[in-house]
Amino acid sequence: MSATERLKGLETFVAVADAGSFTAAATRLHLTNSAVGKAIARLEERLQKQLFERGTRQLTLTDAGATFHASCLRILDEVALAERALSDEDTLPGGRLRIDLPATFGRMKVLAPLLEFAARHPHITPHVSYTDRFVDVVEDGMDLVVRIGGDDAWPAAVGYRHLGNEQLIFCAAPAFIARHGAPQRAADLPQYDAILYGRADGSTQPWRIQEGAAPLARQHINGRMVFGQAESQVAAVVAGLGLAQFPTWLVEPQIRDGSLVNILPQLTTQGLPLHLLWQRSREHTPKLQALRAHFEATLCIDPQA
């Protein structure tokens, strides 16, 4: 089988997976239902895997089909990229951009700049996902990833840009302070109810404490409540149930409206770094260059920067 025939099979498979039926895919590809069905049958026979569950109304991908679909998207994207690289039309930003953002930071701080970018570049089609898990930029086929935290040493195939560090502050609600008083120093903190952030593995995120010229300390404590979602953690502290350490970008609205108070400003501590990550093999494409430049100009989590 020639490479061209293999690619046609992949295109047909992706069209069926995206459309959910042979009929809709056939219409999109300007083929007959029979031709589409035979192409999928040949593909399944060659792979020795069933790619679709045949329901009465709609096709759904099997586990093997879902894995193969992700690989096909990367392959077809690379082919399209290679073709555009040889075209004079590639001088203007255009095409699909796969972008992955941290869940809370993405909604609160990246979405508005991203929508502004999309309005300026109508020929670019952002495909945006929100995850807090580790994303392999290359293996997962991402064009650009925004990440808080992670290593400073990235694989050679991954480009990166550091955009600043979080600033962490201790917060409580005025009602909580009225009932319990406010801590005066770091040593007072364990005496108060703590609202903690919980990780997926069941552990809790320690407090990072920088007091004067002393080295940074990570303090693990028992919390009154633990949340695996940052906005819920903020809501619990606003409700007066305890105190917590937050990045300033997360609680700017509550600090402004007075529903939260920075109770120990002398313990403001540098937190995790913010990075842009991208595939070096794609870094010279106009669409990625445009998005990188926009995010480098608009994303910052250090209020003193």
pLDDT at 88 over 50: no
Rounded to whole angstroms, the Cα distance separating 285 from 86 reads 11
Residue-wise pLDDT for 137-167, tens only, equals 988 889 999 999 876 678 888 999 999 999 9
pLDDT category at 81 given cuts 50, 70, 90 is: confident
Cβ distance 150 to 186 under 8 Å? no
pLDDT at 86 over 90: no
Q: What is the pLDDT of residue 151?
A: 67
- Give the lowest-confidence range in 91-95, 142-146, 193-197: 91-95
- Give the lowest-confidence range in 93-107, 109-123, 125-139, 209-223: 209-223
Q: What is the pLDDT of residue 264?
A: 94
Cβ distance 48 to 10 under 8 Å? no
pLDDT category at 41 given cuts 50, 70, 90 is: very high
Report the mean per-residue pLDDT for the chain. 89
3-state secondary structure of 292: helix
In the beta sheet, which residues pair with residue 209? Answer: 217
Q: How does DSSP classify residue 223?
A: -
Q: What is the pTM of this model?
A: 0.68
- Give the lowest-confidence range in 40-49, 89-98, 143-152: 89-98
Q: What is the pLDDT of residue 305?
A: 40
Question: Helices in the chain by DSSP H: which ranges?
Answer: 3-19, 22-29, 33-47, 63-85, 103-105, 111-120, 174-180, 230-238, 248-257, 286-298
pLDDT category at 91 given cuts 50, 70, 90 is: low
Mark 61-83 as b/e (b = at least 16 C-beta within 10 Å): beeebeebbeebbebebeeebee
The structural domains of the chain, with segments of one domain joined by +, span 3-85, 95-304
Average pLDDT over residues 175-193: 94
Q: How does DSSP classify residue 257?
A: H
Residue-wise pLDDT for 31-40, tens only, equals 999 999 999 9
Q: How do strand 144-148 and strand 95-101 relate by DSSP bridges?
A: parallel
Average pLDDT over residues 94-123: 94
Rounded to whole angstroms, the Cα distance separating 301 from 305 reads 8
Q: What is the pLDDT of residue 201?
A: 84
Rounded to whole angstroms, the Cα distance separating 279 from 97 reads 12
Q: What is the pLDDT of residue 87?
A: 58
Q: What is the pLDDT of residue 1?
A: 59
CATH number, domain 95-304: 3.40.190.290
Angle, vertex CA 238, rays to CA 271 and CA 232, nearest 5: 65
Q: Give the chain's radius of gyration (CA, Å).
A: 25
CATH of 3-85, one of 1.10.540.10, 1.20.120.850, 1.10.10.10, 2.60.40.10: 1.10.10.10
pLDDT category at 219 given cuts 50, 70, 90 is: confident
3-state secondary structure of 162: strand
Which residue in 251, 199, 271 sits closest to 229, CA to CA?
199
Kindly report the backbone phi and psi dihedral angles of residue 121, in degrees, each rounded to the nearest multiple of 5, phi listed first.
-125, 75
Rounded to whole angstroms, the Cα distance separating 145 from 229 reads 20
Average pLDDT over residues 23-37: 90
Of residues 124 and 214, the one with the higher pLDDT is 124
pLDDT at 89 over 50: no
pLDDT at 172 over 90: yes
Alpha-carbon torsion angle 141, 146, 151, 152, nearest 10: 110
